[in-house]
Structure 1
Amino acid sequence: MSRRPPRGPRLPAWTATLTWKAAVFITVMCCGLAAMLGALVHVSVTNQTVGQARERALIRLKDVTERYEAGDRLGPGAGVDPKGLPESLRDLAVSGQRATMVAAHESRPTMWAAGPADGGRAIAVQVDYAQGARTIDGLDRAILGSSVLAIGATLLVGAFAVTRVTRRLHLTAQVARKISAGDLDARVNDPHSGPSAQGTPRHQDEVAAVAGALDTMASSLQGKLLSEQRFTADVAHELRTPLTGLHAAAELLPPGRPTELVRDRVAALRTLTEDLLEISRLDAKSERVDLDAHRLAPLAERVVRSSGPGTELVVVRDVCVETDRRRLERVLGNLVANALKHGREPVLVTVDGPVVTVRDHGDGYPDYLLEHGPQRFRTEGTTKGHGLGLTIALGQTRVLGARLTFANAPDGGAVASLRLPHEEPPEPDANENRGAP
């Protein structure tokens, strides 16, 4: 079995932000530019300073050589094979060349110039180069200081500019997440994406274009969803009146198998209509909860008892929760009905604190439901049902402020877990229960 190579240390999450990447890019570019400009200035000034010192040294060497040939006194800082003359420069002079070299002499930078003399010796002069060295050192310090200041100023300006862009991007992403969560009224409203005060089109940057496109998409999506919700509510509402009459007419039919079929289909159609009306109310977010304190175990027991045989209740730990009893029974009833209809018995309803689990022993939930959640009017592997039961259960769960998740058990069967909001009561203090002596 091949082993994966060990991963290196992972960078902190903040290093993935655009601000950090922009700061690193700006810093690297500024450092590179400062190093390049500093090197060019350093080389140019050094060549100029060294060239001037070399020119002075060669002029003096020429004058000293003429004095030496005339037998005059050479003067200070000149001599034949003087002490401190670099050996490499002396070799060049002995070979018949005139050359110069910067070297330290008595702990001071010195410009040496040397030429050939008689007897295989070298005549040389020295020029003080301390001022030139100080000029170059001062220039290097000025280049370093100005580079640091320039990098710092560029970073501040760049960080300010990038932060403004990233703040707008974060706002756009936040609005997109709100829209994905169902808040279709959320908008970015970027001031750079709309027209100017005079009503003329404004030149937009890329962030404003993305924000404007997101707002346009949200408005279009909201309009389509509202239109679909109104259509669903109108159709369901208009069906109630003829269905009521149809149900009354079916009750007048003589007993028999055809009458039973008609009554069964009318009842199914009435259930579908009521489910559509409930979904339209959930979509419109017009539902209001009636909270009260309820024990979960008796509530789950009523649901199990009303579901008929094939359902078992297991109470691990009972708690009291603040919830809407009617809506919670509706959620649990839909989960149990779905398990009985699409799964296999036994169906286990487990109460463990604020978590209620409904499990069957069938083939489990389909992949699309586990990945995307319940979808209306979609069922797999069966023609029974219309796919609205789990959708209603999920919608009522959100109204209750609870959380409903779907999964498949490792040993087979679908598992729906409902977690209700619940705060554990504080443990009584032992000092409070202790009587006064």
Structure 2
Amino acid sequence: MNIRLNIGTKVALAVATAAVCVASTVGLLVHRITAANQLTTARSDMDRRLMTAVYDQAAGRKSEARLDPPDLPAPVSRAVRRGVRVTYLQDGPDPVLWAATRISDRTVLALSRPYGCEADELAALDRTLVTTGAAATVVVSLAGLALGVRMGHRATAAARTAGRIAHGDLDARIGPQGRDEIAWLAASVNTMADALGARLEAERRVTADIAHELRTPVAAMVTATGLLPAHPATDLVAGGVHKLRGLVEDVLEVARLDAQVACVETEPRQVSAMARRAVAGLEGVEVRIVADTLVETDPRRVERILTNLVTNALRHGAPPVTVDVDKDHGGAIVRVRDHGPGFPPDLLSVLTASGPQRFRTGSGSAGTGLGLTIASGQARLLGACLTFRNHPDGGAEATLRLSGGGAADA
């Protein structure tokens, strides 16, 4: 199972891991140093008491030491037989500290005492270290979690704002917080948005200026082609000029939509009437009315949307092209479908994620050109919803949803 952790969780886990490592290391060092100091002190005390016992034994006084004790540990016995005065800690459930020395060729003088008191003190120290370390780890982990959550929120806000910018909201900005790398990233994203907005604005102005400059000579060319004598070459030139005029008008329409200067003039209209007007003069298109609806909208813009969708279906799809009109939750739905190969996967992902982009094409021959770009812009202007998909039975399908008013019979 693949588990994805956000930055807040990662920071909290890193801080908690570091706290556990530090607490464990400090606890181990304190344990070892305390144990070593305890044993050194106890051995020094036992050695001093052993030397006192040796003097008492030599003077014939009674002492706490024993001669040749039968329970003398073997390591102590071997060391003493070699002439070494030793102190030795005998481990076990009940540890015992020994001190022994040889006072004659065959006699060993030894002292012993329980070492359980020191062991109990060390165990108590270990419990204190574990409790303190656990408490410190919890506190530091909570602080790390708070820091991680704050960093995660800031990073998430930056990512969401960047996504809004990528989807066309060039006014979105990230509020500056702090002076760390995330704040630097936020400032960079804001700078990028400013630069992108300025570049797009310059592009829009240039596009609009070029289209306006082309409008007059193109109009003159249209007039001139009307004065040419009838000839196949004249028809070819006239067709090209009319296509050029349509392209110039489309570019101007995109410029107006980008500049958000277009105005909406609404009035109540039957959706079926707008659909039929939109496909008037286009061959190979069937309008099917499932349920008609009266909507308050700008009919000219709705008809432009439907015309562009149908034209795109005829150009890049395959007949028959159908336009279905239906009702949905008090509004209207118009579906435009062809029976061609459908949208290429890469183009469909772009249409689904960010909407049509001017002159965007897929890996095949299909592309959106300006038609779908204008349709999408008009839909946004009307507050309508325009979506794209490949129909399960084949072909490309575009769905326009309009908010409506009263219903009418089909």
User: Given the two structures, how large is their TM-score scaled by the length of structure 1?
Assistant: 0.73
Measure, in 2, the Cα distance between the counterparts of 1:380 and 1:63: 100
Cα displacement string for residues 135-178 of structure 1 (whole angstroms, at most 9, x for unaligned residues): 42343344334433443444455445555544443333232112
Residue 111 of structure 2 aligns with which residue? 125
- The answer as to 2:206 corresponding to 1:220 is no
- The answer as to 2:186 corresponding to 1:211 is yes
Residue 30 of structure 2 aligns with which residue? 41
Cα displacement string for residues 256-297 of structure 1 (whole angstroms, at most 9, x for unaligned residues): 656545543443333222211111111112334456666655
Mapped contact 1:92–1:99 kept (Cα < 8 A): no
Residue 324 of structure 2 aligns with which residue? 350
Q: Map residues 222-301 of structure 1 onto 2, 5 A cutoff.
A: 222-248=197-223, 250-251=225-226, 257=232, 260-261=235-236, 263-290=238-265, 296-297=271-272, 299-301=274-276
Measure, in 1, the Cα distance between the counterparts of 2:105 and 2:298: 117
Residue 30 of structure 1 aligns with which residue? 19
Q: Alignment length, in residue pairs? A: 396
SS of match in other structure, 1:210: helix
- The answer as to 2:164 corresponding to 1:186 is no
In structure 2, give the amino acid aligned to 1:20: T
Residue 393 of structure 1 aligns with which residue? 375
| More deviation, 179-188/359-368 | 359-368
Residue 287 of structure 2 aligns with which residue? 313
Measure, in 2, the Cα distance between the counterparts of 1:281 and 1:348: 30
In structure 2, give the amino acid aligned to 1:44: I
SS of match in other structure, 2:244: helix
Residue 303 of structure 2 aligns with which residue? 329
Residue 362 of structure 1 aligns with which residue? 340
Query: 1:80/1:238 Cα in 2 relative to 1: closer, same or farther (>3 Å)?
Result: same
Query: 1:158/1:243 Cα in 2 relative to 1: closer, same or farther (>3 Å)?
Result: same
Percent sequence identity is 38
SS of match in other structure, 1:73: coil
Query: 1:220/1:148 Cα in 2 relative to 1: closer, same or farther (>3 Å)?
Result: same
Measure, in 2, the Cα distance between the counterparts of 1:424 and 1:156: 55
RMSD over equivalenced CA pairs, Å: 4.2
- The runs of 5 or more residues in structure 1 that have no matched partner are 1-8, 193-203, 426-437
Residue 73 of structure 1 aligns with which residue? 62
Measure, in 1, the Cα distance between the counterparts of 2:110 and 2:362: 103
In structure 1, give the amino acid aligned to 2:336: V
Cα displacement string for residues 330-356 of structure 1 (whole angstroms, at most 9, x for unaligned residues): 222111112222332111233465454
Residue 416 of structure 1 aligns with which residue? 397
Measure, in 2, the Cα distance between the counterparts of 1:382 and 1:144: 67
Q: Map residues 4-23 of structure 1 onto 2, 5 A cutoff.
A: 9-11=1-3, 13=4, 16-23=5-12
Q: Map residues 14-163 of structure 1 onto 2, 5 A cutoff.
A: 16-68=5-57, 72-75=61-64, 78-79=65-66, 85=71, 98-102=86-90, 110-114=96-100, 124-127=110-113, 129=115, 131-163=117-149
In structure 2, give the amino acid aligned to 1:347: V
| More deviation, 340-349/226-235 | 340-349
Q: Of the candidates 160, 172, 184, which is equivalent to residue 174 of structure 1? A: 160
| More deviation, 116-125/286-295 | 116-125
Measure, in 1, the Cα distance between the counterparts of 2:380 and 2:163: 17
Measure, in 2, the Cα distance between the counterparts of 1:390 and 1:279: 11
- The runs of 5 or more residues in structure 2 that have no matched partner are none
Deviation of 1:406 after TM superposition, in Å, equals 3.8
Query: 1:178/1:386 Cα in 2 relative to 1: closer, same or farther (>3 Å)?
Result: closer
Measure, in 1, the Cα distance between the counterparts of 2:159 and 2:239: 50
